Structure 1
Amino acid sequence: MFYLYYGETVPIEVSMPMKKIYHLSSCSTCQRIIKDLQPLTDFELQDIKSEPITTSQLEEMHSLSNSYEALFSKRAVLYRERNLKEQNLTEDDFKDLILEQYTFLKRPVIIVDDQIFIGNSKKVVEAAKKAIHS
């Protein structure tokens, strides 16, 4: 989008309401949830394995959830393999781990405007569905 500024055309960034799902295409749970949420009009789907999340995307998720730990999957195989449960992880540690390895992001992450829904619990999925179709 552009606007006219003293006779010059200047590009401006327009903030559109965000509708996005971060998921793993090889995850049957993510596939089932996405199917259950249909129709997903105007939603962008991002497969976090083929298109890793960026620092700015993770920071945006953090701004909605107020916690990197809430975005972190403690069910990830690497969490157990690295014995991370025994470490006192900080918010910065959770952020770094998520950016390092896509499997550390709890999924799916569903963003509907200024709301975020993290994970695959029935309660979270129902709340996301309600927000999407309200």
Structure 2
Amino acid sequence: MNKIYYLASCDTCRKIIKGLPANHNLEFHDIRQNPITEAELEEMHKLAGSYEALFSKKAQLYKSMDLKNKSLTEADFKKYILEHYTFLSRPVFIIDGKIYIGNSQPVTLQAMKALEK
């Protein structure tokens, strides 16, 4: 099953979702309303190769908790993502066994092309 992990209150996520191909077959997962489970995070980790790749260093909590001045391990990245949804870089698409993380234009275009197949 193809999925998108997103935040419904995020303008960027809403814009990306609005631009999805009409025939997409995505299961939508709002990470604020339905926090990601450890099993879901493990699946993402397996596809991404690291927890750091899934971690958002743009999160306001990252700055307010002064995490940028700490040396974080993979275990730390995992712990923070599970503790608060804001630490997951979003959106995260899982399409046909491939993962697309974040909202950069190249990543978004790759995810859109994968959905059109």
TM-score (norm 1): 0.85
Determine which structure has greater relative contact order: mean sequence separation of CA pairs < 8 Å that are 6+ residues apart, divided by chain length: 2
> Residues 32, 40 of structure 1: CA spacing in aligned structure 2 closer, same or farther, 3 A cutoff?
farther
1:83 counterpart letter in structure 2: D
The 4+ residue runs of structure 1 with deviation greater than 6 A are none
- Counterpart for residue 87 of structure 1: 70
> How far did 1:85 drift?
0.6
Match of 1:10 in 2: none
Q: 1:87 to 1:54 in 2, by over 3 A?
A: same
- 1:101 shift after superposition: 0.4
Q: Is the 8 A contact 2:93 2:100 kept in 1?
A: yes
Aligned counterparts of 2:24 and 2:99: Cα–Cα separation in 1: 17
Query: Which residue of structure 1 aligns with residue 94 of structure 2?
Result: 111
* Selected match of 1:30 from 4, 9, 13: 13
Alpha-carbon distance, 1:38 to partner: 2.7
AA paired with 2:46? S
After superposition, the CA RMSD in angstroms is 0.9
CA contact (8 A) 2:100 2:111 kept: yes
Q: For the residues of structure 1 that align with 2:70 and 2:89, how far apart are their CA atoms?
A: 19
Which residue pairs with 1:53 in the alignment? Answer: 36
Amino acid at match of 2:94: I
Matched positions, count: 117
Q: Report the counterpart of residue 50 of structure 2 in structure 1.
A: 67
Corresponding position of 1:102 = 85
Shift of 1:35: 1.1
Distance 1:98 1:73 in 2: 9
Separation of aligned partners in 1, 2:19 and 2:7? 16
Gapped regions of structure 2 (runs ≥ 5): none
1:12 is matched with which residue? none
- Structure 1 gaps of 5+ residues are 1-17
Deviation string, structure 1 residues 80-129 (Cα, Å, up to 9, x no partner): 00110111100010000000000000000000021100000000000001
Shift of 1:43: 1.1
Q: Shift in Å at residue 37 of structure 1?
A: 1.5
SS at match of 1:80: helix
SS of corresponding position for 1:67: coil
Residue type at the aligned position of 1:92: A
